[in-house]
């Protein structure tokens, strides 16, 4: 069984969140430490620690997460945004439950971090 994370507690309803979107496959909510005016996380209902652990059978779910991210960004009125999936601690992943960041509402520089 996967280790419990803050995101699994959010999915169970043990920790509240500012929900933006939910369906049978994922949940999206506003980041509690936003890095931009719009910073939303999209997480799968299925526990996958990181993109490294995703499997071929997760292909449809992974595509769904990205399509949901695009839909949310459009509903937020963003004409440009960044989607980020951090994989591993040295890449900035702090919660080991796969998640897609939607970051926008300001100019974003490159390269990041």
Closest C-alpha among 94, 56, 73 to residue 20: 73
HEC secondary structure over the chain:
CCCCCHHHHHHHCCCCCCEEEECCCEEEEECCCCCCCEEEEEEECCCCCCHHHCCHHHHHHHHHHHHHHHHHHHHCCCCCEEEECCCCHHHCCCCCCCCEEEEECCCCCCCCC
Indicate which residues carry an active-site annotation: 99
């Amino acid at each position: 069984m996967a280790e419990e994370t803050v995101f699994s507690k959010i999915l169970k309803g043990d920790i509240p969140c500012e929900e933006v979107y939910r369906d049978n496959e994922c949940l999206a909510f506003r980041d509690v430490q936003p890095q931009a005016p719009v910073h939303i996380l999209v997480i799968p209902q299925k526990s996958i620690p990181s993109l490294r652990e995703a499997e071929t059978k997760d292909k449809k779910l992974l595509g769904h997460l990205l399509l949901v991210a695009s839909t949310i960004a459009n509903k937020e009125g963003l004409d440009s945004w960044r989607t980020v999936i951090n994989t591993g601690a040295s890449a900035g992943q702090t919660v080991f439950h796969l998640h897609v960041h939607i970051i926008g509402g300001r100019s974003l520089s490159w390269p990041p971090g």
